[in-house]
A and B are shown apart, each in its own frame.
Chain A
Amino acid sequence: MSTITLTLKIWRQQDRKTKGRFETYETGPISQDMSFLEMLDVLNEQLTLEGKDPVAFDHDCREGICGMCGSVINGEAHGPEKETTLCQLHMRHFKDNDTLVIEPFRARAFPIIKDLAIDRTPLDRIIQAGGYISVNTGGAPDANAIPIAAERAEAALDAAACIGCGACVAACPNASAMLFVGAKITHLALLPQGLPERSGRPLDMVQEMDSQGFGNCSNIQECEQACPKGISIQNIARLNHEYLRAAFLSEE
C-alpha cells in the first residue's frame, strides 16, 4: 500500500456572515486506498489533537447515493473522477506532493454554513413547487394497471437517478439549477402517471427556481460533466420543451 503526502488549501469560513479565507495544511502520510473524505477525517483528527478547529464538511452515506457530500477540488465539483461523488473518490487518483485547493460549492442560492458545508434547501423548495405526482396514500390502482414500456421506465430512471447534490449548480459558470430541475421534469414527463400535471409542473418549478437566485442556463454543458450520476443535458432540453409547451400551447 503506497502513501502520499499532500498540501491542502482549504476554504475556512466560520459562518454565513464571516468572511472566509484559504488555510494551508500539510498532511501526514495518506494511504492511497483512502477515500477523499477519509483523508479529511485524518486531517480533522490531527487538527483536533492540535487543539485547532476541524474542517466542517457535509457527508452521510459515503457510498455515493445520499447526495450530501461535495466540494470543488482544484476547480472541479466532486473532484477529477467522472461520475464519482466526493465520498467515492479515492486518493489513488492523486500523486505524491500534489497541492489540492478545496472550496465549497459556490452559488448565491447555496449560502455557506461553515467551511465546506453549504445550505442547499433551495433545491427542496423547487421540488415543493411541484416535483411530484399529486397522489394521496391509499386508493392507488393495481400497479400493473398502467403498462409502461421497459425502455421508457429505464429512461425515467436515468433522470430520477439525480441525488440532489448540487454539483450541477456548482459547476455551472452561471450557477444555474436547470439540470436538477430538468432531471425531475423529465422523470415525471416520461411516465403516464405524470401527465395530469404536465402543464402546471414546469411553470411552477421554474418560477420557484428563478426566485431562489440561481443563474440562467447558457447551454455551456459543464453541469453534465460534473454530474456524479451522468445525467445528460438532454434533460434540460426536455425541460425547455415541457416549459414552452405548458406556457404557450397548453389549453389549461
Chain B
Amino acid sequence: MNLNPKIPPGPLADKWDTHRFNSLLVNPANKRKFDIIVVGAGLAGASASASLAELGYNVKTFCIQDSPRRGHSIAAQGGINAAKNYPNDGDSIFRLFYDTIKGGDFRAREANVYRLAQVSNNIIDQCVAQGVPFAREYGGSLANRSFGGAQVSRTFYARGQTGQQLLLGAYGALMRQVHKGKVRIYPRREMLELVVADGKARGIITRDLVSGRLESHCGHAVVLATGGYGNVYFLSTNAMASNVTAAFRAYRQGACFANPSFVQIHPTCIPVHGSYQSKLTLMSESLRNDGRIWIPKQKNDTRDPVEIPESEREYFLENKYPAFGNLVPRDVASRNAKEQCDQGKGVGETGLAVYLDFAEAIARDGRETIRSKYGNLFHMYEKITAGSPMEEPMMIYPAVHYTMGGLWVDYNLMSSLPGLFVLGEANFSDHGANRLGASALMQGLADGYFIIPATIATHLAGTELPDIDTGHPAFQEAENRASLRIKKLTALNGKRTVDDFHRELGLLLWDCCGMARNEKGLRYALNKIPEIREEFWRNVVVPGTNETFNQSLERAGRVADYLEYAELMVRDALARTESCGCHFREESQTEDNEAKRDDKNFSHVSVWEYNGESSAPISHTEPLVFENVRPSRRSYK
C-alpha cells in the first residue's frame, strides 16, 4: 500500500505555494471535458461543487436530503476560526496552526494543518463577499470572540447559527452554478457503491430514495464529502441521516481508513432522558464561558440543586484545573464529567448528568446580560427539557459529536485510491486526535473552496483516464453488489427492528469504545460486534420493498455498514495503547489520572486497509514528522 502523504518540500510557510506552483494545471478550455462527482452537500461538498464548477468542470452533486441546504454543517452553532488577528491580540497563522496541532495532541500532519491556518483568512473574506451576516461591532467591522478556551479572539460567528449561515452561503454559490448549468443536483440520493475501473475511482452507484431505482454515474474523479460516522453510537449530536456508508463502501473498494477510533465527545449536551430517545442535542460550548460545572459532593444526592449549599458542591473542573477551570478542552471536560458520574455523583433521573450553573454569572452580570448572551441557547434548552437555566442549573452530559478519523488522504486530499478525493469530516487530515471548537467549519470550507480546486488538476491532467461510460463492466459489477445487498435486506423478515439493533450496537460502543477505553472492554466489544451482526442478518425486519420510498430500508443498509465499521473502530482503539486527545486508554495514564501520550510508539497515523469480509484488515502506519513544533504534553493544570 502506497501511503505517501506527498508533503511538499521546503519551509512550512512556503509549502502550499510551492506545491501549487509544482502542480499540474488543466487548460481552461479542457476543464469542460472533465466530469466530477461530488457526494454530499454540506459545507465541504457544496463549497467544492461550486468552486469546481466555477473553474469550468462539469459537476454532479448528490445529497441524501431533499435539498442541498440541509447538510448537518447547518447545525454548527459556535463559529469559525481564522487567523485574521483583527482584535490585535497577537494571533497569527503560526499561532492558529500551533493551537490546532497542539489541540489535536500532535496526531496530525504539520503541513496540512499549516495550510488550513493559511487559507482560514481567505474563507472569511469569501463568506463575507457572499453575504454571510457575521456579527459586527458597532463601528461596522467584524466581531470576534474567544472560543473553546483559545487565548486569542479569533472566532467569527453569526449568533448561535454560524454553520447555518456559512452553509447557506455555500448553498447559494452552488445554486448559482446549477442555474448556469455547470452543476446538476441529485437530491434524495444515497451512494451505495464506489465504482473502481482500472484501479481508479470512476463513478458511483446511487439509490434514488424516492423510487428505489439504482443509478450509475460515471466521472473522471469522485469527491466524497459525506461527513463523519458519529451515528455509529446510535445516539449522537449528528443528524439522523448522517452515516458512514459512502466512506465505508469506498474503504471496501480499497481506500484506506485512518484513525477510526478518534471520536470527539462533546461535554455540553442535553442528557439522555429515555430509551426512546433518537438523538442528542448539543448546547454550544460558549456556555462554559460563564457557567460553572458542579456535582453534589454526596453520592445520590436527590435534593433540588438550588437547595444544595455551596459547601456541599464540588466544582470538579475548577478544583482540578485551576488555570483553565471550566474552559478546559472538550475531551478533558467530558472525561471528568464521566468520571464523576461513574462514582455515583451524577444528577438527574438517570444519574448521568452534571450541573452547569449560571447563578453566579447572573448575580455578577445581571439577568439581562446573561440572557442577551445565551438567550437562544436557554430557550432551546427550555423547549427540550422544560427547565429554565435562569432559575435552576442546567443539566448536561457528554455526547458523541465529531469524528476526527476518516478516509486517509494525502496532501492533495486524495485517498489511497487514485481519483477518490475526500473532504471535510469524512477525511482524517487536520484535527489529529481531538478537534478544537470552531475548527470544523474552517476545515470543511478550506477543503472545498481552496484546496480541492487546486489539487484535483494534478490527478486529472497527470493520470491516464480512459474514455469509459456506465457501460463499463465495473459499473455492472458495482450495481450488482448494491442490488444484491438490498435484495438480501428486504428478504429478511425477523423479529427485531433496525433501530433496535442500532441501539444495541451504540450502547456497546459507548460503554466499551467511548470516552475511556481499556483492553478488556475493547476485546469484549470485538467479540460482541460479530454476534450482533450475525443476528442482524438473520433476525432484522425490513418492511416494504425496494421500489418505494422506504426509510426502514435506508436505515437497514446504514446499520449493516455500522455493524462492520464498528469492528474497525474497536480494532483501531485496541491497537493504540496510548492515550491521546479524545482517545483515553485507561492503561495509559499518569499518576494523577491524566492522559499519557506515547510519542515513541504512536506518533503516527494508523491506517487500515480492507482485506475481504472474512479476514482482519491490514494495519499500516504513516509516521508523523514534526519539524516545526515540538510535541509537548497538553497540561491544563
Tell me, in angstroms, the Cα distance from A88 to B383 when the chains sit together.
7
Q: Within B468-505, which residues are at the interface with A (CB < 8 Å)?
A: 495, 497, 499-500
Nearest residue in A to B541 (C-beta to C-beta)? A48
A153 CB contact (under 8 Å) in B133, B241, B282, B349: B133
Range of interface residues on B (Cβ < 8 Å): 35 or more
- A68 and B241 CA atoms in complex are apart in Å by 11
Q: Mark A94-117, 1 if CB is under 8 A from B, else 0.
A: 000000000000000000011001
Chain B residues with CB under 8 Å of A128's CB are 175-176, 178-179
Min Cβ gap B171→A in Å is 7
**Distance in Å: Cβ of B62 to nearest Cβ of chain A:** 14
Is A137 located at the chain interface by the 8 A CB criterion? yes
B31, CB-defined interface residue at 8 Å: no
CB-based contact A49/B67 at 8 Å: no
Judge whether B311 is part of the interface by a CB distance below 8 angstroms.
no
Contact of A211 with B by CB under 8 A:
no
| Cβ–Cβ contact A193 & B137, under 8 A | no
Is A52 interfacial (CB-CB < 8 Å)? yes
- Say yes or no: is B336 at the interface (Cβ < 8 Å to chain A): no
| 17 pairs from A and B in contact (CB 8 Å cutoff) | A15-B549, A31-B276, A38-B277, A38-B278, A54-B551, A56-B551, A65-B161, A114-B548, A119-B66, A128-B175, A128-B178, A137-B51, A148-B136, A150-B137, A153-B134, A157-B159, A193-B130
Q: A121-B187, A129-B179, A135-B130 are in contact. Are A61 and B549 (CB under 8 A)?
A: no
Q: Which residue of A lies closest to B238 (CB)?
A: A61
Knowing A33-B273, A52-B543, A53-B543, the reply to whether A194 touches B131 (Cβ < 8 A) is yes
Chain A residue with the shortest CB-CB distance to B158: A157
Q: Quick check: A132 and B175 within 8 Å, CB to CB?
A: yes
Which of the candidate stretches A138-146, A170-178, A215-223, A235-243 sits at the interface with the other chain?
Answer: A138-146
CB distance from B615 to the nearest CB of A (A): 35
* In the bound complex, CA of A92 to CA of B122 (Å): 47
In the complex, what residues of A have CB within 8 A of residue B629's CB?
A: none
- The reply on A249 being an interface residue by CB < 8 A is no
Of B66, B67, B130, B544, which one neighbours A132 at CB under 8 angstroms? Answer: B130
Q: Is B54 an interface residue (CB 8 A)?
A: yes
Which one of B51, B72, B124, B274 contacts A33 once the chains associate, using CB atoms below 8 Å?
Answer: B274
For A53, what are the chain B residues with a Cβ–Cβ distance below 8 Å? 543-544
1/0 contact string of B102-119 vs chain A (CB within 8 Å): 000000000000000000
B518 at the interface (CB under 8 A from A): no
Contact present for A84 and B66 (CB under 8 Å) = no
Interface-located stretch among B88-96, B139-147, B253-261, B420-428: B139-147
Given contacts A66-B239, A92-B386, A132-B172, contact A48 B72 (CB under 8 A): no
* Most chain B CB within a 10 A radius of its CB, from A41, A42, A84: A41
| B124 close to A143 (CB less than 8 A) | yes
A181 within 8 A of B: no
A42-75 contact mask (Cβ, 8 Å, vs B): 1 or 0: 1011011101111010111111111110000000
The verdict on B126 contacting chain A, using a C-beta distance below 8 Å, is yes
Q: Give the complex CA separation of A122 and B287 in angstroms.
A: 38
Contact status of A124 and B185, CB under 8 A, knowing A38-B277, A60-B239: yes
For B140, what are the chain A residues with a Cβ–Cβ distance below 8 Å? Answer: 147-150
Min Cβ gap A110→B in Å is 10
The chain B residue sitting closest to A190, CB to CB, is B133
| Cβ of A246 under 8 Å from chain B | no
Give which listed residue, B69, B126, B175, contacts A137 with CB less than 8 A: B126
The answer to whether the Cβ of A12 comes within 8 Å of any Cβ in the partner chain is no
Closest A residue by C-beta to B542: A48
Given contacts A61-B75, A137-B50, A149-B140, contact A38 B276 (CB under 8 A): yes
Interface residues of B in 371-409 (CB under 8 A from A): 380, 383-386
User: For the complex, is A213 an interface residue (Cβ under 8 Å from B)?
Assistant: no
CA distance A35 to B450 in the complex (A): 40
Write the chain B residue with the least CB distance to A158: B133
Q: Which 4 A-B pairs have the closest CB atoms?
A: A147-B140, A132-B172, A140-B129, A140-B125
**A62 nearest in chain B by CB position:** B279
A120 proximal to B (CB < 8 A): yes
Asked if A191 lies at the interface with its beta carbon under 8 angstroms from chain B, I say yes
| Contact between chains at B135 and A66 (CB < 8 Å) | no
Which B residues, 30 to 58, have Cβ-Cβ distances below 8 Å to chain A? 47, 50-51, 54
* Inter-chain contacts of A123 with B (CB < 8 A): 67
A14 located at the interface, meaning its Cβ lies under 8 Å from any Cβ of chain B in the complex: yes
Give chain A residues whose Cβ lies under 8 Å from the Cβ of B384: 35, 88, 90
Q: A153-B133, A157-B161 are in contact. List 17 more A-B contacts (CB 8 A).
A: A14-B548, A41-B499, A45-B500, A48-B497, A52-B543, A59-B240, A61-B74, A65-B161, A66-B75, A67-B70, A88-B384, A92-B386, A117-B549, A135-B129, A137-B449, A153-B136, A193-B130
Compute how far the CA of A58 lies from the CA of B420 in the bound complex, rounded to whole angstroms. 31
Q: Chain B residues with Cβ under 8 A from A161's Cβ?
A: 161, 164
> What are the residues of chain A within 8 A of B25 when measuring CB–CB?
none
Bound CA span A159–B187, Å? 25
Whose C-beta in chain A lies nearest to the C-beta of B172? Answer: A132
CB of A34 within 8 Å of the partner chain? yes
A37 interfacial by beta-carbon distance below 8 Å:
yes
Judge if B65 is at the interface, Cβ distance under 8 Å.
yes
Q: Is the CB of B278 within 8 A of A37?
A: yes
Contact indicator A58/B66 (Cβ below 8 Å): yes
Is B168 an interface residue, CB under 8 A from the partner?
yes
Q: Which of A38, A67, A140 contacts B126 (CB 8 A)?
A: A140
Cβ proximity bits B249-275 to A, threshold 8 Å, 1 near / 0 not: 000000000000000000000000110
- A212 and B137 CA atoms in complex are apart in Å by 40
B381 to A: closest C-beta gap in Å: 11
| B139 partner residues in chain A, CB cutoff 8 A | 147
Q: Establish whether residues A34 and B274, one from each chain, have CB atoms under 8 Å apart when the complex forms.
A: yes
B329 to chain A, nearest CB (A): 23
The answer to the question of A247 belonging to the interface, with a C-beta cut-off of 8 Å to chain B, is: no
Residues of the B chain whose Cβ atoms lie less than 8 Å from the Cβ of A135 = 126, 129-130, 173
Report whether A157 and B499 are in contact in the complex, using a CB–CB cutoff of 8 Å.
no
Residues of B415-453 at the interface with A, using a CB-CB cut-off of 8 Å, are: 449-450, 453
A33-B274, A141-B129 in contact; A164/B69 too (CB < 8 A)? yes
Q: Does A134 contact B176, Cβ atoms closer than 8 Å?
A: yes
Given A66-B72, A147-B139, A136:B65 Cβ within 8 A: no
CB distance from A213 to the nearest CB of B (A): 17
Are A137 and B450 in contact (CB-based, < 8 A)?
A: yes
Asked whether, in the complex, the Cβ of B175 is within 8 Å of the Cβ of A127, the reply is yes
If A41-B278, A62-B240 touch, does A141 touch B172 (CB 8 Å cutoff)? no
Note all chain A residues with C-beta closer than 8 A to B86.
Answer: 144
Asked if B335 lies at the interface with its beta carbon under 8 angstroms from chain A, I say: no
Q: Is A65 in contact with B75, judged by CB distance below 8 angstroms? A: yes
Residue contact A144 to B141, C-beta cutoff 8 Å: yes
A133-B240 in contact (CB<8A): no
Taking a contact as CB atoms closer than 8 A, the residue among A67, A92, A120, A150 that contacts B136 in the complex is A150
Does the CB pair A120–B141 fall under 8 Å? no
**Residue in B67, B131, B142 whose beta carbon sits within 8 Å of that of A120 in the complex:** B67
A133 touches B349 (CB 8 A): no
Cα of A52 to Cα of B175 in the assembled complex, Å:
39
* A14 CA / B128 CA spacing, docked (Å): 45
Question: CA of A161 to CA of B381 in the docked complex: distance in angstroms?
Answer: 19
Least CB distance, A200 to chain B, in whole angstroms: 12
Interface centre among A52, A66, A133 (most CB of B within 10 A): A66
Interface string of B334-368 (1 = CB under 8 A from A): 00000000000000010000000000000000000
For A157, give its contact among B133, B138, B175, B277 (CB under 8 Å).
B133
Residue in B122, B187, B237, B279 whose CB lies within 8 Å of A138? B122
User: Which A residues are CB-close (under 8 A) to B237?
Assistant: 63
**Is B619 positioned at the interface, with any CB of A under 8 Å from its CB?**
no
